[in-house]
Amino acid sequence: MFDRRLLKNIDLGLIVIVLLIFIIGVIIITSATNVIDLTKDTSFKEAIDDILKNGIKRQPKVQIIAFMIGVVAILGILCVDYNSFGEAYKILYVISILLLLLVYVPGLAIDPSLRGGARSWIDLGIIDLQTSEIAKLGFILSFAKYVEERYENLNTIKDLIGPLIFVVPFVLLLLKQPDLGSALVFIIIAFGMMFVAGINMKIVIYGGLIGISSMPLVYNFLKPHQKRRIDAFLNPSDTSLNYHVNKSKTAIGSGMMYGKGIFKGTYHRGDFLPVQETDFIYAVLGEELGLIGCTVILVLYFLFLYKMVNIGKNAKDIYGMLVVTGVTFMFAFQVIENIGMTIGILPVTGVTLPFLSYGGSSLITSLIALGLVLNVSMRNKKIKF
């Protein structure tokens, strides 16, 4: 039975930070999905009236519904000691693999042509689910247990064979979809956990050098659209390859210090900015709220990650520390990659910005991950009477 006294230990600061990011996200998504006539110099009040007159689009509504589902999921997670997930790690591993295979079930999978060519989604009626998002959580919970049993015993290449075999099925299934962005997230999560578990740094360095030298070979196995993204990153002056990124950087730059104002960004109002409510939501924020708004979001994300690092350090056991580590690396990679690709310093991979970008399954997954961190946080201290 759940002991309510545990709630006294919950990190309210972390909850407040996530809530602030989500509220900002809903506002920006609402703006990004309501294209307004550019011929009108619309004031803030006129923009609101126009949106209310034409009706709020589906995306903000879905985002709010997904948030409520995620909150319910958090409450459920907090009622279960996180070590119970570790005890069931083999089952969670199998379920996670099966989730990635669901995208090949006829009648359930969404046509890849409707999702940018990626076979990553299934239709649940009220929401389209990207199964890799849920699989991330199962992977974190199961891999954390697997690594816990090998804690500070990852000194040789032989010691890494087991962890590599554990990770490879996820990466191969995601590359087949193809979803390079999600595959990279799984790799970063695995590396983060093994790094904290004491992996021999010589192996990391040698492995990194081998990985860098083998990139030309890996390039030949990429899909055409993935090759275009790499070519675009390596050739920033090519305007045809970098259309999305150039529009994103122009939108952010046009916001200057204070931005053009909420609902007044001309680039997304004119629908010139691609996938503006998901991959390039940061560009919409930059155009409308300027450098000040971008800085506020960066500070919020820094505090978010900093708090999770502290929770991991103070976890009462190794398993809890590794779970929080996996979640922290997952979020850190998504934040760095999304903002990096938006401003043109990293390749475009389609990774969304946690709690800010539109995406029901992504938001629910992020909230469940937050629930796992809060679970570890509130159980790392003795209950005070």
Coil, strand or helix at 328 = helix
CA distances from 322 to 86, 217, 317, 361 (A): 11, 33, 9, 24
Residue 260 lies in a domain: yes
**Range name among 32-36, 60-64, 204-208, 279-283 with the lowest pLDDT average:** 32-36
Indicate whether 45 belongs to any domain. no
Residue 351 DSSP symbol: P
Residue 4 lies in a domain: no
Distance, in Å, from the CA atom of 95 to the CA atom of 84, rounded to the nearest integer, reads 16
Tally of structural domains, the chain:
1
The CA distance from 286 to 297, in Å, is 10
**Ranges 10-14, 70-74, 101-105, 257-261, most confident:** 70-74
Give the chain's mean pLDDT: 84
Choice between 382 and 154, residue whose per-residue pLDDT is larger: 154
pLDDT of residue 186: 94
In a domain, residue 51? The reply is: no
Which of 334, 360, 229, 216 lies closest to 282, judged by CA? 334
Structure confidence by residue, pLDDT tens digits, 247-305 = 888 889 888 898 888 888 877 666 677 778 888 899 999 999 999 999 999 999 999 99
pTM of the full structure:
0.89
Does residue 381 carry a pLDDT above 80? Answer: no
Mean pLDDT (whole number) for 127-150? 90
Instruction: Mark residue 5 as left, alpha or beta (left: phi above 0; alpha: psi -120 to 50; beta: remaining).
Output: alpha
305 domain-assigned: yes
Residue 5 lies in a domain: no
**Number of Cα atoms under 13 Å in the Cβ half of residue 307:** 20
- The parent domain of residue 184 ranges over 12-34+58-378
Maximum Cα–Cα distance across the chain: 66
Q: How far apart are CA 174 and CA 104, in angstroms?
A: 12
**Does some domain include residue 17?**
yes
Six token digits for residue 94: 């199998």
| Residue 218 maps to a domain | yes
